[in-house]
Structure 1
Amino acid sequence: MPIKRELIKIDAPAGQPGFLGAGHIARPVVSGPFSVTDPFIMLMDDMLDKKDNQPVGGPHPHAGFETVTLLLEGEIGDESHKMKGGDFEIMTAGSGIIHTETIDKKAKIRLLQLWLNLPQKDRWVTPRLQNVSLQQVPASNKDGVAIKVYSGTLAGLTSAVQNYSPLIVADIFINEGTSTELELPASYNTFLYILHGSVRVGEEEKLLQKDQVGWLDLFEDAAKSELKLIAGIEGVRLVLYAGKPTGDKITSHGPFIGDTPQDIQRLFQEYRSGKMQHINTVPERQKIFL
C-alpha cells in the first residue's frame, strides 16, 4: 500500500513591502531553517502593480543555486526573451552569473520565484538558462482536475526540464467538491501554496485556504505515496512543489549560496572584479528554450 501523505504544518505568511518600491508586495511563502525546508531555500510571491514608467530593478549576481520562476500574471523581460503569464524559467546560477530584472513601464505582474539548492557536487556547475512557454507545458484536464506540470513527473505528465536537484512543480485546478489523488515520492519534501479557494488535504482532510502554505509529512522511505485532495465550495487553484532533500548544509549571504563562508567571500570578490558573465551573453548551448 502506498504511504498516505498528511498535512503537518500550515503557514499564513503576510505580504510586506517589496524592494521594487510603490506597488510591490512580496510574500515569503518559504522561509525558516534550511534543514527543514531542504531543498527549498526560499520562495517569494511577488505582486507588482506599477503605475509609472520609472525604471525599477536592475542587474545583480547569483551563484550556488537555481532560481525557479513561474509567472502567474503579466509580462517580464525584454525583446531578446520575454516571459508571459503561464511561462516558466529555471536559471542555474552555478559558478556565478549576472542577470537583469528591469521593469521600465506600467505593469501588473505576479510571479513565484523559488531559490532551489544545488546538490553539493553540482554547486559550481556551468550556468544555464531553461525557458518553457505555456504552450509547451505538459497538461491534462479531466474529471474536474486540470494539471500543468512544469518540472518533474506528476499525474502521468512529464516535463522536459532538466534538473540537478529532483523537483516537481505543478499548477493545479480542482473544481468545486471534486477529489483527486496524486502520486508522489514519499521522500520528497512537499508543500502546497493556495492561490484561490480552499482544499482539504490528506486522509484527515485538514483545511488549507487561500494564501496559506501547507507542508506534508516527509519519509526517508523512497516508496510511492499518495496525496488526497478535495476542493472546497469555490474550487481551488494551488501550486505544488516537491523536491528531494539534498542533505547538505549551506551558507547563505545576499545573492549567494555556498558550502562555507569562504565561498561567499570568494564570490563577492569575483563579482566585484568583473569575473561573472551576464546570462544574456553565455553561449547558446547554455540556453534551452522549450
Structure 2
Amino acid sequence: MANQRKIERLYTPTEQPGFLGAGHLARPVIQGSFAQTDPFIMLMDDILDKKDNEPAGGPHPHAGFETVTLLLEGSIGDENHKMKAGDFQMMTAGSGIIHTETIEEKTRMRLLQLWLTLPKKHRWTTPRVQDMFNEHVPVSNTGGVQLKLYSGSMSGLQSPVKNYVPVIIAEVNMQPGSESKLDIPSNFNAFIYVLQGEVSIGDEKRLVKQDQVGWFDIQYGSQLSEIKVQAGITGSRFVLYAAQPQGDAIVSHGPFIGDSSEDIVRLYKEFRQGKMQHISTVDEELKMKY
C-alpha cells in the first residue's frame, strides 16, 4: 500500500503589482528558503488585464536554470512564437540565452511561470526549448476527474517533455464531489496551487481553497506515494508540481542562477558583451515541439 502524503504547509500568496505596469498583478506562489523548496526556485502567477495597445515585455537574459511556463488564459508572444491557453513551454537557459516575451495588444492573460533549478553537472548545458501545444497534452478523464500531464509520468500517462530534473507538472480539473488518487515518488518535493474551487487532501480531509498553496510532507525512498484528493461542492481546478530535490545550493541574482557569486559576475559580463544568443537562433534539433 502506498504511503499517504499529507499537507505540511498551507498559505495564501499575496497579490502585488506586476512589472508590466497597469493591469498586471502577480502572486509569488513559492515561499520559503530554497532548502525547503528545492528544486523549485520561484513560481509566479501573473494575471494581466491590458487595456491598451502599447507593447509590454521584451527581450531579457536567463542562465543557470529552466523556465517552465503554463499559459492558463489568453495568449502571449509574437508571430515568431505564440502561446495560447493550455500551451506549455520548458526553456533550458543553461549556459545563457536571450528570451523574448511580448504582449502587443489589448488582452486578458494568466500564466504560471516556474523557475526550476538545473542539476549542478548540467548548470551550463546548451540552451534548448520545448513547446507542447494544448491539443497534444496527454489527458485522462475518469470518474469526473480530468488530468492533463505536462511533464513526467503519472496515472498511466507519460509526457514526451525531456527533463534534467525529474519533474511532474499536472493540471487537475475535478467535478463537484469527485475523488482521485495521484501517485508521485515518495522523495519528490510537491505542492498544489488551487486555481478554482477547493479540494480536500488525505484521510484527514485538509482543505486547500482557491488561491491557496499546499505543500506536502516529503518522505524517503523512491517508491510511489499517494495523494488522495476530493473536490468540494463547486468542483476544483488545481496544478500539481512535484520534483526530485537536487541538494545543490544556489546563488540567485536578477535573471541568473549560479553555484557561486563569481558565476553571477561572469554571467552579467557575458550578457553585456553580447555573448548570449537569442533562444530563437539555437540549432533546430534543440527546438522541440510536441
Q: SS of the residue aligned with 1:263?
A: helix
Question: Residue 125 of structure 2 corresponds to which residue in structure 1?
Answer: 125
Q: 1:123, CA displacement in angstroms?
A: 0.3
CA contact (8 A) 1:31 1:41 kept: no
Give the alignment's TM-score, normalised by structure 1: 0.99
Question: Residue 18 of structure 1 corresponds to which residue in structure 2?
Answer: 18
Question: Residue 79 of structure 1 corresponds to which residue in structure 2?
Answer: 79
Amino acid at match of 2:29: V
Q: 1:79, CA displacement in angstroms?
A: 1.3
5+ unaligned residues in a row in structure 2: which ranges? none
Matched, 1:152 2:164: no
Q: SS of the residue aligned with 1:30?
A: coil
Question: Residue 58 of structure 2 corresponds to which residue in structure 1?
Answer: 58
Q: 1:220, CA displacement in angstroms?
A: 2.2
Matched, 1:249 2:245: no
Q: CA RMSD, aligned part only?
A: 0.7
Q: 1:34, CA displacement in angstroms?
A: 0.3
Question: Residue 272 of structure 1 corresponds to which residue in structure 2?
Answer: 272
Question: Residue 108 of structure 2 corresponds to which residue in structure 1?
Answer: 108
Q: 1:23, CA displacement in angstroms?
A: 0.1
Matched, 1:230 2:230: yes
Question: Residue 32 of structure 1 corresponds to which residue in structure 2?
Answer: 32
Percent of aligned positions that are identical: 59
5+ unaligned residues in a row in structure 1: which ranges? none
More deviation, 173-182/46-55:
173-182
Q: Which whole-Å deviations, capped at 9, do the CAs of 1:217-274 have from their partners, x for residues lacking one?
A: 0012212111100110101000000000001100000000000000000000000000
Give the Cα separation in 2 of the matches to 1:79 and 1:283. 19
Question: Residue 216 of structure 2 corresponds to which residue in structure 1?
Answer: 216
Q: 1:76, CA displacement in angstroms?
A: 0.8
Structure 1 runs (4+) deviating above 6 angstroms are none
Question: Residue 259 of structure 1 corresponds to which residue in structure 2?
Answer: 259
Number of equivalences: 290
Matched, 1:180 2:180: yes
Q: 1:58, CA displacement in angstroms?
A: 1.1
Q: 1:32, CA displacement in angstroms?
A: 2.1
Q: 1:98, CA displacement in angstroms?
A: 0.3
Q: 1:202, CA displacement in angstroms?
A: 1.3
CA contact (8 A) 1:47 1:110 kept: yes
Give the Cα separation in 2 of the matches to 1:190 and 1:202. 14
